[in-house]
Amino acid sequence: MTPLTTNGVLAAELPHVAAATGTASLAWLLFVLPAAGALVLFVAGRRADAWGHWLGVLTVAASFVIGLLIFLETAGLAPADRTRELSLFHWIAVGDLSVDFGLRLDPLSLTFVLLITGVGGLIHLYAVGYMAPHHGGDEGSDRAARRRFFAQFNLFITAMLLLVLGNNFVMLYLGWEGVGLASYLLIGFYQDRPSAATAAKKAFLMNRVGDVGLAIAIFIIWTNLGTLQYTEVFERIGELSAGTIVAITVLLLLGACGKSGQFPLQAWLPDAMEGPTPVSALIHAATMVTAGVYLIARTNPIYNLTETGRLVVALVGVITLLIGAIIGCAYDDIKKVLAYSTVSQIGYMVLAVGLGPAGYALGIFHLLTHGFFKAGLFLGAGSVMHAMHDDVDMRRYGGLARYMPITFVTFGLGYLALIGFPFLSGYFSKDEIIGAAFGQPGWQGWVFGGAATLAAGLTAFYMTRLMFMTFFGEKRWEKLKSDDGHDYHPHESPAVMTIPMIVLAFGSLGAGFVLSNGNLLVNWLTPTLGELEEPHGGALGHEYVPWLVVGFAALGVLIAWLTVGRRPTPVERPEPVSLPVRAARRDLYANAINEALIARPGTWLARALVYLDNRGVDGVVNGTAALLGGSSGRLRRLQTGFVRSYALSMLGGGVLVVAALLAVRFA
């Protein structure tokens, strides 16, 4: 148990930062390799069509190897020495602002490095198969598209690594915007689809809202402390007033909400499924959308100082996990169900980090296991779509288990992990979070824990519904044709796609057990995140939680079986439906609320400003011009062209001058 002040953790607990040596001094290769890959793929053009995708896979795999070496080296050090920094060069020096281009290698960032490069490498491999040119299609343009895809994918890996490796807020922001750019490019990857372009714009704009919050938080930090290095900021953050700290935490949370699809900025994430499935798996499930969780975990010394800020974070997480779970029950689009599941699961993580020292490590734990099983689920969904002519409507699936056994098994393992089937990944990580939530004192324990448990039941319901509709039941596709008029011929995907799925399935299966065995991950993260506080007291004892959660999940499965599994599924969406379902189908009116609260007033404001500009500002400008023009038009009538009238005015002037002289002289 760590000594707590009323305000939070003492600054003295911050880890000692050493200079990186040994293998760790090669850490710059981590992001330089994917960057080089992206550069080559962007620049080389058609010459790289044949081998470009393998270059992409190779660079990420190499990064993974380096990351693994650094990880092993770090693991060999004493826990107190595990936080190291590698300063590469002096990046920005403007006036008082001085920013290093430096890397921070500590347990937290290394965990992320392994997740990003490991899962990223697997999904790269999968994408080699997924993005392969279609037979009978336009092979040339397909190959060019694949090269473009891998270039942008490598760009994403680079930016994401910069985000987690940077040792200051500016590098964090650099990576933050980099992944935003890559996300925008990849969501809009299918440039010929207007829906993809719209989704990309939506994601970009809603991310901007969050990014503004992050930027302002960084500005506040710099204005008050004069530095942006993590080490110095965390040491001196206690000097600031409580109000400033709350402001910083809320603004950081806004940034996290934008990037992680949290309430109220969650609406972009489901639309982001317009991108290719590997993108959904890597960026919009496993890594980028967890950047918000990373941000809060990384700035834990700031959040430790403010109870209020953490409460806001936890509330946002609770609201989001409920929203995601409710909406996930209503969608028929397999990727959107998974997307809302992602929203919901990230809500769990945000709830966890919002619990403070009792939950940081749990949030990261769930992030890791979720990275495995959600990536696996998305890859499975991609495999199903691959088999079903890119159709995403689950009502047209059914009975696919027989045709795609590998996909079925790997997907099923991911499914079990997600719903928290005992002794699979999700069971460990999610139950820990729910337990920590119940461990909160007072009303918070009941509300947080209750909502999380309820959402766990809902998760079980919608995921079971998805399983039933996709892999079991009647083969509804036999009587249907795809949109482009083909019969469906479900088939298993090639090995290049199934191997990553299998590897990730092992992750879904065992990651939770391995990482929680002897509190492995929690202890590993202790130097960065502090000791994990065991919940004590609180609303509900820790020992009841697994029973409760598993019970709710079983209930969800049962309801799903009763409503979906044992009844035939109509191919057309049933209409009309009850009010809750209607609301869920419409994203709980999130888009309508955004439209009504933000977009419409924004449009009105813009129109009013345009009117003001046209009539007000332009009116003043044009009015001045018209006034001058009119008066000069009248004044020029004085120019009669008659020499004698000019002479007359000259004489008049002369008389005046003489009179003035005399007046001065003799007055």
Q: Contact residues for other proteins (CB under 8 A)?
A: 636-637, 639-645, 647-648, 651-652, 654-655, 658-659, 661-662, 665-666
Q: How far is it, in rounded angstroms, from Cα 38 to Cα 175?
A: 15
Instruction: Provide the minimum distance between the beta carbon of 665 and other proteins in the complex, in angstroms, as a whole number.
Output: 8
CB of 600 to other proteins, least distance (A): 53
Shortest Cβ 633–other proteins spacing (Å) = 9
Instruction: Give the Cα-Cα-Cα angle 311, 315, 318 (nearest 5 degrees).
Output: 140
Among candidates 401, 267, 250, 409, which has minimal Cα distance to 324? 267
Note the maximum CA span of the chain.
121
HSE-CB at 421 with a 13 A cutoff on CA atoms is: 16
The C-alpha angle with vertex 321 and arms to 510 and 536, in degrees rounded to 5, equals: 70
CB of 624 to other proteins, least distance (A): 22
Q: Which is nearer to other proteins, 596 or 650 (CB)?
A: 650
Q: How far is the CB of 663 from other proteins (least distance, A)?
A: 10
Nearer to other proteins, 43 or 655 (CB): 655
- Label residues 182-199 b or e (16+ Cβ within 10 Å = b): bbbbbbbbbeeeeebeeb
In the bound complex, what is the minimum distance in angstroms from residue 209's beta carbon to other proteins?
59
CB of 658 to other proteins, least distance (A): 5
Q: Quick one: 617 or 650, whose CB is closer to other proteins? A: 650
Q: Which residues have CB under 8 Å from 513's CB, separation 6+?
A: 423, 425, 428
List, in order, residues 6 or more apart from 303 with CB less than 8 Å away.
8, 249, 296, 309, 310, 313, 353, 356
Q: Give the separation between CA 363 and CA 296, rounded to whole angstroms.
A: 10
Contact 342, 282 (CB under 8 A): no
Structure token digits, residue 659: 């009179």
Helices (H), 226-333: 230-236, 242-260, 268-271, 277-281, 291-298, 300-303, 307-328
As a whole number of angstroms, the distance between CA 297 and CA 286 comes to 16
CB of 627 to other proteins, least distance (A): 19
CB of 662 to other proteins, least distance (A): 5
Residue nearer to other proteins on the CB measure, 5 or 631: 631
* Angle, helix 107-130 to helix 291-298, in steps of 10 degrees: 170
CB of 623 to other proteins, least distance (A): 24
Q: Closest CB to other proteins among 495 and 659?
A: 659
Give whichever of 19 and 647 is closer to other proteins, judged by the CB atom. Answer: 647
The least CB distance from residue 219 to other proteins, in Å, is 59
Q: Which is nearer to other proteins, 191 or 649 (CB)?
A: 649
- Closer to other proteins at the Cβ: 135 or 644? 644
Phi, psi of 89 (to 5 degrees): -160, 165
CA–CA separation, 497 and 502 (whole Å): 9
Handedness of CA 330, 331, 335, 336 (dihedral sign): negative
What is the distance between the alpha carbons of residues 582 and 82, in angstroms, rounded to a whole number?
52
Token pair recorded at residue 162: 């910069």
In the complex with other proteins, which residue's Cβ is closer, 134 or 644? Answer: 644
Q: Which is nearer to other proteins, 134 or 636 (CB)?
A: 636
Identity of residue 339: A
CA–CA separation, 435 and 538 (whole Å): 10
User: Residue 92 or 659: which CB sits closer to other proteins?
Assistant: 659
CB of 661 to other proteins, least distance (A): 8
Shortest CB 655 distance to other proteins, Å: 5
Cβ distance 380 to 405 under 8 Å? no
Q: Residue 651 Cβ, how far from other proteins at the closest point, in Å?
A: 5
Nearer to other proteins, 614 or 640 (CB): 640
CA–CA separation, 334 vs 379, rounded Å? Answer: 12
597 vs 659 by CB, closer to other proteins: 659
Count of other CB atoms within 10 angstroms of residue 602: 11
Which CB sits closer to other proteins, 135 or 636? 636
Q: How far apart are CA 146 and CA 51, in angstroms?
A: 10
Which CB, 4 or 648, lies closer to other proteins?
Answer: 648
Question: What is the nearest approach in angstroms of other proteins to the Cβ of residue 667?
Answer: 12
Is 610 or 658 the residue whose CB approaches other proteins more closely?
A: 658
CB of 632 to other proteins, least distance (A): 10
First vs last C-alpha separation in the chain: 99
Burial class (CB in 10 A: 0-12, 13-18, 19+), 173: buried
**Contact assessment for residue 59 and residue 205, using Cβ atoms and an 8 Å cutoff:** no
Instruction: Residue 295: name the closest of 395, 199, 393, 221 by CA.
Output: 221
Residue 503 and residue 122 in contact, taking contact as beta carbons nearer than 8 Å: yes
